[in-house]
Amino acid sequence: MKPLERVSASDVAALMRALGVALDGGPAVWPVAAAPPAHGSATSASQAGEVDDRVALVVETSGSTDAPKRVVLSADALIASAEATHDALGGPGQWLLAVPAHYIAGAQVLVRSILAGTEPEVPDGEHFDAVVFAAASARLVPHVPHYTSLVPVQLARLVEAAERDAFIAAALRSYDAVLVGGQALAADVARRAAELGANVVRTYGSSETAGGCVYDGRPIGETRVRIEDGVVELAGPMLADGYLGEPARTAGVFTTDARGTRWYRTGDLGELDADGVLRIRGRADDVIISGGVKVALGEVERAVRAVPGFGDAVVVRAADAEWGERPVVVGPASDAAAASDALVALAAATDAAGLTPAARPVRVLVVERMPQLPSGKPDRRALEALAAATTAG
């Protein structure tokens, strides 16, 4: 056993040093959003218990679809993931850290930088801003590949700003790859980013896979993908050891087959096309039964976001006396201003996507501000509760 140390994710230099030591077999690191108690010490680390000797990193999930979990990752898993990323992108380079370092996407930016022997560039300020992002991009070292990792809402803000500002557009184009993951990327944002000249790479993965392990629908490195009962399962050297102090929860999603291959059951619905490209349909726990028909809310949301004015909308379930459950669209007031007239367009979009009539949204709920998790993802639990309360009212 060895120590597990909490390190403030806001102190990027200290976190990088701690991660470097952890990758070499030293104390494991648990990045936290707030600075840990100093207790009179000059260091930014504090003791958080002990873990197995092979563990290098513990990251806490955002809890967007489930209760938060503390995912345990070995040095081997982190390195396998980082090397697979570099191979997929054409080699190591310099990274800009635009996502929080206490989540796996940010931690992997640091791990990739450590392995590449480069210093990540960190934008100024505590909140994402397109102008600040562009200024930080201009500070990257020339003549080496430039990479960054974003969530869809960040890319959407950059695209909107870049369409008005040539400096921001040039910054977006300057990256050899812009990794975008964490949730589905709206087709309209992807199209507009491509028109600006950005090389966007859609990534799929999670903390349990040490970050993205499927790029633009194709597995990278030694990642393996299979579909079991409609649910995506992943295997490879990047898999986490499990969840800290939760053996039952670990056993529930990490399994080993008869050939000794260890698989992670993601909980995402998906399918592989004839060319082996993975397509995610939504969460298995976001399937509703509407009038006796199964409806994947993720597919409804994808269709809804293609409708002008609903690029940031979220689709949640709501009880219905006749149908059992129906899809409800929740969107910010700025995007869904014509909500009262939108149901016809939204129904047409779901029909055009080949979805059953049961997938047609029954209602549009306009909110002044979309509730979000600390990671920037929509707080689906809060939105579902809001939809339920509005229905009850």
Please, are residues 94 and 86 in contact by the beta-carbon 8 Å criterion?
no
Sheet holding 363-367, edge to edge: 314-320, 324-332, 363-367
125 and 23 in one domain?
A: yes
Average pLDDT, the chain: 90
Does the residue 254 lie in any domain? no
pTM of the model: 0.84
Instruction: From residue 182, give the alpha-carbon distance in Å to each of 21, 63, 267, 284, 373.
Output: 27, 12, 14, 16, 12
**155, 182, 207 — which closes off a domain?**
207
Q: What 3-state DSSP class applies to 197? A: coil
- 10 Å CB burial of residue 63 (0-12, 13-18, 19+) is middle
User: Tokens 């008869």 map to which residue?
Assistant: 258
53 and 168 in one domain?
A: yes
Does the residue 180 lie in any domain? yes
Please tell me the distance from the alpha carbon of residue 124 to that of residue 97, in angstroms, as a whole number: 11
195 and 75 in one domain?
A: yes
Does the residue 137 lie in any domain? yes
Check pLDDT > 50 for residue 327. yes
191 and 340 in one domain?
A: no
Average pLDDT, integer, range 117-143: 96
Check pLDDT > 70 for residue 42. no
Does the residue 135 lie in any domain? yes
Percent of all residues in the chain with a pLDDT value above 70, rounded to a whole number:
91
186 and 313 in one domain?
A: no
CA 283 to chain centre: 13
* Tokens, residue 5: 């140390």
Please, are residues 360 and 347 in contact by the beta-carbon 8 Å criterion?
yes
- pLDDT tier at 39 (50, 70, 90 boundaries)? very low
Predicted pLDDT at 41: 40
**CATH number assigned to the domain comprising residue 63:** 3.40.50.12780
Total domain count, the chain:
2
Instruction: From residue 324, give the alpha-carbon distance in Å to each of 208, 290, 292, 298, 304.
Output: 34, 6, 8, 18, 21
Average pLDDT, integer, range 309-326: 88
**CATH number assigned to the domain comprising residue 367:** 3.30.300.30
182 and 79 in one domain?
A: yes
Higher-pLDDT residue of 331 and 237 is 237
Predicted pLDDT at 246: 94
Strands 231-235 and 242-243: unpaired
200 and 100 in one domain?
A: yes
Tens of pLDDT, residue by residue over 231-275, are 999 999 999 999 999 999 999 999 999 999 999 999 999 999 999
Percent of all residues in the chain with a pLDDT value above 90, rounded to a whole number:
68
191 and 308 in one domain?
A: no
Tell me the helices (H) and strands (E) count for the chain, helix number first: 11, 22
287 and 203 in one domain?
A: no
Q: What b/e sequence results for 332-354 when a residue is b if at least 16 CB atoms lie within 10 Å of its CB, and e otherwise? A: beebbeebeebeeebbebbeeee
Check pLDDT > 50 for residue 175. yes
Tens of pLDDT, residue by residue over 82-103, are 999 999 999 999 999 999 999 9
Check pLDDT > 70 for residue 62. no
Residue-wise DSSP of 43-102: SSEEEEEEE-TTEEEEEE---SSSS--EEEEEHHHHHHHHHHHHHHHTS--EEE--S-TT
Least confident of 61-75, 288-302, 332-346: 332-346
178 and 311 in one domain?
A: no
197 and 56 in one domain?
A: yes
Sheet holding 146-150, edge to edge: 94-96, 146-150, 177-180, 200-206, 211-215, 218-219
Please tell me the distance from the alpha carbon of residue 74 to that of residue 54, in angstroms, as a whole number: 5
Does the residue 83 lie in any domain? yes
Strands 45-51 and 55-60: unpaired
Does the residue 346 lie in any domain? yes
Higher-pLDDT residue of 335 and 24 is 24
183 and 314 in one domain?
A: no
Phi/psi for 346 (5° steps) reads -70, -40
Please tell me the distance from the alpha carbon of residue 117 to that of residue 373, in angstroms, as a whole number: 33
Please tell me the distance from the alpha carbon of residue 62 to that of residue 374, in angstroms, as a whole number: 7
Q: Which domain holds residue 293?
A: 282-392
* Tokens, residue 247: 């053996």
Average pLDDT, integer, range 309-320: 88
**170, 189, 207 — which closes off a domain?**
207
Does the residue 242 lie in any domain? no
**157, 190, 207 — which closes off a domain?**
207
Tens of pLDDT, residue by residue over 349-386, are 999 999 999 999 998 988 888 888 776 678 888 898 88
Does the residue 74 lie in any domain? yes
Please tell me the distance from the alpha carbon of residue 178 to that of residue 107, in angstroms, as a whole number: 16
